[in-house]
Structure formats: C-alpha cells, structure tokens
Amino acid sequence: MRVRLGWLASGLAVAFVLSLMAGAHWVGPVKVWHALWSPSATDVDDLLIRTTRLTRTLVALIVGAGLGMAGGIMQTLTRNPLASPGLLGINAGALFVVVLLVTLGGALPVWLVSAGAFGGAALAAAAVWWIAMGRPGQAGPLRLILAGAALTALFHAFSQALLVVDQQGLDSVLFWLAGSVSARPLSEVWPLMLLSLVALLACWPLSGQWNVLAAGESIAVGAGVRVGRLQGVSVALIVVLAGAAVAMAGNIAFVGLIVPHVARRLTGPDHRHWLPAAALVGATTLLLADIAARTLILPGEVPIGVMTALVGAPLFMGLIRRQGHLND
Amino acid sequence: MTTIAAHELTLGYQRRTILDALSLTLPEGRISVLVGSNGCGKSTLLKALARLLLPWQGNVILDGRDIQRQPTRAVARLLSLLPQQPMAPEGITVRQLVTLGRHPHQSWLAQWSEQDERKVEQALTRTELSEFAERRVETLSGGQRQRAWIAMAVAQDTPLMLLDEPTSFLDLAHQMEVLELLASLNRESGKTIVMVLHDLNLACRYADHIVALRDGRIHAQGTPHEVITRQRVKEIFQLDCQVIDDPYFHTPLCIPFARREGR
C-alpha cells in the first residue's frame, strides 16, 4: 500500500510540474525549475510562472485534494458509495449566498464573496445535519441524503429567483456555476488554503474510527466508537474541505464523487490508505483537468467545472451500471 | 467476571413504550436466550443492554455501574455486540473485519501491538476462518460471513457477548454451526452469552437460561425445562403446542399446532 501511495504522490508531482509548464505559452521544465528557485525579476516567463500559474496550480491541488478527501468521508458517513459532499447542500448554499451578495451589493471585494460562499456552505450543511438528526443519534444516511436533496432544491430556487430579478448578476456568478481555479490571486485565497490543509491533516488520526464506522453504526458503538461525536466531526471536516473548495474555485462537479472510487480501487477499503489516496488522486485529477482546460481551445479556456463534468459524468454512469449491489 | 443487569428499564420508540419497568439479572458465564413473539421487545432489550438505545427510565448495570456513565471504549472492552444482519464495507477482507474488533484496545498511546495481532489470529483460528483470512467478506457464504462477524467479536476479547438473532437467514446446518461455535466459546473461554433466538427448540438445546418476554415484560425466566411448557408457550406466543422430551438431548421439544386446530 505504501508503494501505491508513493506512485500516486509521484504522479501528483509530475502533474504539478506539467501544470506550471502548460498554457498558451509553454515553458520547459528547466525554466520552471529556475523560476521556482532562482527567479529573475525581469524575466517574463518567471513572472508568469510565479504569479498566475503557480497560484492556479496550488488552488487546483488543494481544491482537488479537499474534494477527494471530503467525498471519501461523505461516502463512509452515509455508507453510500454514490454520496458526494454536494449532497450536504454545500454547493447550493455557497451559490445562494454568492448570488445574494452580488444582487444586493454589486461590486464587492472578492474576499467578502469568498467568505460568504464558505459561510453559505457551512450554513446549508448545518441545516441539513439538523434536519437529518431529528432526535439525538438518529442521523441515518437516508435522512441525510433526503434532507440534502430538499435543501439543495430550496437554495437553487432562491438563487434562480434572485437571478431572474437581477439579470446583471448572472455574469458575475457564472464563475461560481462553472468553476475556475484561475480567478484569484494567491493573496486572497491563502487563508482558505491554510484552512483546507489543516482539515486534511486533521483527518489522519480519525481513519481508524472511520474504518469501524464503515461497518455500521451498531457495530461502531459495540466497538467503542463515540458515533455521534465522530459523525459531527466528520460533517465539520467535510464542510471545511468542500466549503473551502467551493469558495476558492466555485462549483467543480464529480471530483468528490468519482475520485474516492478510483482511490478505493487502488488501495482497498482501509481508510488509512484510502483517504490519503483519494486526496492525491483528487489533486492530480484537478491539475490534469486544469491543464486540459487551458490548452484545449486556445486562446480560450474551458471552465474547469465543465471539464470535470465532461470526464466525470460518463464515468459516473458507468459506475451506476456496474454497481450490482445498490439495492441491498 | 462481568455481570450485566437491567434495573426498572423503560424505553421505546417515539411515544410507544416497548419495555415497561423491566428488571433482569443475567447469569454470569452462562448462555442466556431471549425469546418471545415479534414485537415483544426482546431485540429492544438486547439493544438497551448494549447501550445502543438510551433508556427513558431505569438503567443498565454493567459490573455494578450504570452503563451510560462508563466510557464507551471501556464498555467495549467488557461487552461486544453482533447486531441483526450487519453489512460489511465493500471490498473488506475477513482479516480486516476481524481487526476492527481490536479498536477498543487501541489508543493514541497503545497503537497496534503484537497482542492485537495475536488476538486476531486466535479469533480467526477459533472460528475456523484462517484459510479465508484474505478473502473478501462479500464472497463468503452466509454461514462463513456470520462466523467472520463473530470472529470480530471474539477478537474484541470481551467476557460478555450480545447477539441479536445470530442465526436468522441461515439454513439449519449453518444455524447449528453458529450455535456450536457460541456454545464452545462459552464452554472453553467462559464467556457470558446473551442472544435473541427465534427457534425455541434450538434455544432449549443451547440455553442455560431462557428469558421469555411478552408485551415488554418478563413473562417467565429460568431453565428451558422451567420456561418452555405447553401452558407458557401458549401464553407467550398465543400458540397451542405439545412439549415433549427431546429423545436425544432431553431438552424440551416444542411441537406447534396451527392456531385454530388446538387440541
């Protein structure tokens, strides 16, 4: 398993370098090395790499890792292989707050809109969790999914109503709908990156408990897991990881859904290997998607969320057809 | 040794009371079987004993102290639970499943140890699953799968085991296999076993102590001979039957009649 994680890490490193090289103007690997370690203040390539490319590369890396990890946790929490962080209403909540802010305030500072998106994600997830809980200790997976679907529909309805009233707002929220890792300078996204990084590391010591929870709540209680507390912590981590992702890069589809499956194929169901693999695969996937997004239709760019959906949706359909035991 | 008892236990779902001020002490080092008709509260009682359900009133006493006031990890070192129809995570191997049983014995300070490794191996051997250790749980037969879950409980290494209908959905041969395994765990390791069973005759064969529930109360308890009589079975299940002596094992053998044709 260590070997496989090593391979995945190497793959990520390659994708990282490739992401710094690729674009309308390609830069060689040696030049990339120089730009990173001994940049010249006047060289255009160095400047290009150190500003826009490094930023979007880091954003793609963190967002991808966060979505992969959050998706894995979500699938364990709901015991549903087709669950994704979006089911907690995270994307819908973030989008609603963004639309609300843009409609009310017009040209607001980007950090405020990002903070709003994160807040909306957290609010939606908290509401879904509260509805699904019902009585203490009763947050069954099915209730969670149903509550998430209901709240997602509600938030989307609000968002659409606001956009119909204020059509100018549509342009400013397009970025959130389609997803992008290139719209932000590093100076504005670093707090969210840091938050994600902390959450990613915080997942490590919980792996053993998730392994037990995956066998069912009764089994987990029997084996001495504090199930209610673990579920609460899991939801909080999903909110931070997926909420920060949507606040940094907008709505990026399918990564949180597909990546955990791919990772699980590679490592098996042990969370101590599976979740790190999901983070690595997620980061690599989003880097590759971003490279494709900015090189496919030069000089234009495909929104990265569209890229991930183009690749992710067919994979997902294949997955549904192959899953024989979904009726269990 | 470890004792478990219920004291004036009242609980239910929503507003419906299932158990009504039920008190019960289960004999240590013995096999106790809870019997009763569907909906009589036997599974609820087992879940309450395993702290899966919070009592409305009264308490479950584990080793002289309220189970709800003890750290759940400490409880898990005394008491293991096999719920009804557990579902193994997709792709998990038998060894990985059995390893989960060691969870309450691990902590930040005490990571995976040789002792843990040994207990897992012992549990696999004990349940005759060593050769299947690397197989995926979903590829096993129903009986083997149930043995794998029991192996997890065995690896948990608790003096007390609670099992909710461990033989449901198994054919007769596999039912016997599971019950024989539990009987040998009781005999050789002195484990206290408490389980819910539907088959009265198998209950009589394997139980030292039978607790018959009716409408959330204990209707009768004692040895199989004391509890499983024609009159009692009629009261517990509203079913006419004849109880004879099992010619082979000399435990009560219940021959049921259809409800209408009572004789």
Asked if residue A299 has a cis previous peptide bond (ω within 30° of 0), the answer is: yes
Longest dimension (CA), chain B: 66
Tell me the average pLDDT across A122-130: 89
Strand-pair partners of B192 = B160
Which of A212, A218, A328 has its CB closest to that of B103? A212
Smallest Cα distance from A324 to chain B, Å: 12
Alpha carbon of B92: minimum distance to chain A alpha carbons (Å): 6
Strand B217-222 vs strand B241-245: parallel, antiparallel, or unpaired?
A: unpaired
SS3 of residue A58 by DSSP: helix
User: What is the phi/psi pair of residue B171, to 5°?
Assistant: -75, 170
- Shortest Cα distance, chain B CAs vs residue A316, angstroms: 18
Q: Would you say residue A39 has pLDDT above 90?
A: no
The nearest CA of chain B is from the CA of A202 a distance in Å of 14
Grouping H, G, I as helix, E, B as strand and the rest as coil, residue B64 is coil
* Helix, strand or coil, per DSSP, at residue A202: helix
Residues 6+ apart with CB under 8 A from A296: A302
Residue A327: its pLDDT value, please?
39
Residues B109-113, mean pLDDT to the nearest whole number: 74
pLDDT confidence bin for A315, thresholds 50/70/90: confident
What the block records as the tokens of B167 is 């033989």
Q: Which helix (H) or strand (E) holds A307?
A: helix A304-322
Q: b/e string for A167-180 if b means 16 or more Cβ within 10 A?
A: eebeebbebbbbbb
Whether A324 has its CB under 8 Å from any CB of chain B: the answer is: no
Over residues A186-220, the pLDDT tens digits come to 888 888 999 999 999 999 899 999 999 999 999 99
Terminal Cα-to-Cα distance of chain A (whole angstroms): 29
pLDDT of B261: 53
pLDDT of residue A2: 64
The answer to whether A219 contacts chain B (CB < 8 Å) is yes
Q: Enter the tokens of residue B86.
A: 């557990």
Interface residue B10 vs chain A (CB under 8 A): no
Q: Tokens 């057809």 map to which residue?
A: A321
Inter-chain residue contact B88 with A215, CB threshold 8 Å: yes
pLDDT at A139: 54
pLDDT tier for residue A143 given thresholds of 50, 70 and 90: confident
Cβ distance B91 to A225 less than 8 Å, yes or no, reads no
Lowest mean pLDDT among A79-83, B73-77, B146-150: A79-83
pLDDT at B257 over 50: yes
Radius of gyration in angstroms for the set of CA atoms belonging to chain B, rounded to a whole number: 19
pLDDT at B247 over 90: yes
Q: Which has the minimum average pLDDT: A27-36, B19-28, B145-154?
A: A27-36
What average pLDDT does the structure give for chain B?
92
Using an 8 Å CB-CB cutoff, list chain A residues near B77: 224
User: Using an 8 Å Cβ cutoff, are B220 and B40 in contact?
Assistant: no
The residue in chain B having the minimum alpha-carbon distance to the alpha carbon of residue A261 is B90
pLDDT of A180 over the 90 cut: no
More confident residue, A183 or B167: B167
CA dist B9 and B42 (Å) reads 13
Residue of A81, A208, A219 lying closest to B86 (CB–CB): A219
* Chain B residue with minimum CA distance to A212: B100
Looking at chain B, the whole-number percentage of residues with pLDDT higher than 90 is 82
Where on the phi/psi map is residue A117: left (φ > 0), alpha (ψ -120 to 50), or beta?
alpha
Mean pLDDT across the stretch A149-170? 85
Instruction: Give the confidence band of A222 by pLDDT, cuts at 50, 70, 90.
Output: very high
Cα(first)–Cα(last) distance of chain B, in Å? 46
Q: What are the phi and psi torsion angles at B17 (to 5°)?
A: -80, 130
Q: What is the CA radius of gyration of chain A?
A: 20
Quickly state the pLDDT bin for B100 (edges 50, 70, 90): very high
- The DSSP line for B75-115 is HHTTEEEE-SS--PPTT-BHHHHHHHTTGGG--SSS-S-HH
- Residue-wise pLDDT tens digits, A62-80: 999 999 999 999 999 888 8
**CB contact (8 A) between residue A269 and residue B92:** yes
Name the range with the highest mean pLDDT among A20-24, A39-43, A182-186, B256-260. Answer: A20-24
pTM value?
0.89
Check CB contact under 8 Å for A212 and B100: yes
Q: What is the mean pLDDT of chain A?
A: 86
Residues in chain B: 263
A224: chain B residues, CB-CB within 8 Å: 72-77, 103-104
Q: What are phi and psi of B4, to 5 degrees?
A: -135, 140
- Per the CB < 8 Å rule, is B96 touching A221? no
pLDDT at site A131: 85
User: How much is the average pLDDT of B135-151?
Assistant: 93
Select the residue from B90, B109, B113 to test the A interface by mutation, using most A Cβ atoms within 10 A: B90
Give residue A138's pLDDT band: very low, low, confident or very high (50, 70, 90). low
Top residue of A77, A138, A218 to mutate, by most chain B CBs within 10 Å, is A218
The packing angle between helices A141-165 and A110-133, to 10°, is 140
Which sign does the torsion angle of CA A139, A143, A145, A148 carry? negative
- Residue B246: pLDDT band by 50, 70, 90 thresholds? very high
B84: exposed, middle or buried (C-beta count within 10 Å: 0-12, 13-18, 19+)?
middle
Taking the Cβ of residue A134 and every Cβ of chain B, the question of whether any pair is shorter than 8 Å is answered with no
- Which chain B residue has its CA at the smallest distance from A214's CA? B89
**Domains along chain A with CATH numbers:** 2-322 (1.10.3470.10)
Residue A155 has pLDDT above 80, yes or no: yes
Which of residues B45 and A88 earns the better pLDDT score? B45
Cα–Cα distance for residue pair A131/A276, rounded to 1 Å: 31
Q: How far is B117 from chain A (nearest CA, A)?
A: 16
Minimal CA–CA distance to A224: which of B140, B105, B96, B138? Answer: B105
How far apart are the C-alpha atoms of A47 and B120, rounded to whole Å?
58
B150 by DSSP, 3-state: which?
helix
Which of B72, B96, B153 lies at the smallest CB-CB distance from A221?
A: B72
To the nearest whole angstrom, how far is the Cα of B161 from the nearest Cα of chain A?
10
Which two structure tokens, joined as six digits, stand for B108?
Answer: 């930040």
CA neighbor of B148 nearest in space, from B169, B127, B165? B127
Q: What is the DSSP letter of A50?
A: I
Higher-scoring residue by pLDDT: A107, B244: B244
User: Long-range contacts for A115-118 (Cβ within 8 Å, ≥24 apart)?
Assistant: A115/A247, A117/A176, A117/A243, A117/A246, A117/A247, A118/A94, A118/A192, A118/A243, A118/A244, A118/A246, A118/A247
- Alpha-carbon distance A187 to A130, whole Å? 35
Q: Name residues whose C-beta falls within 8 Å of residue B220's C-beta, 6 or more positions apart in sequence.
A: B210, B212, B226, B227, B232, B236
Q: Which residues contact A241 (CB under 8 A, 6 or more apart)?
A: A66, A67, A69, A70, A73, A85, A196, A199, A200
Averaged pLDDT for residues A236-246: 92
Convert the pLDDT of each residue in B180-218 to its tens digit. 999 999 999 999 999 999 999 999 999 999 999 999 999
Task: Report pLDDT for A326.
Answer: 44
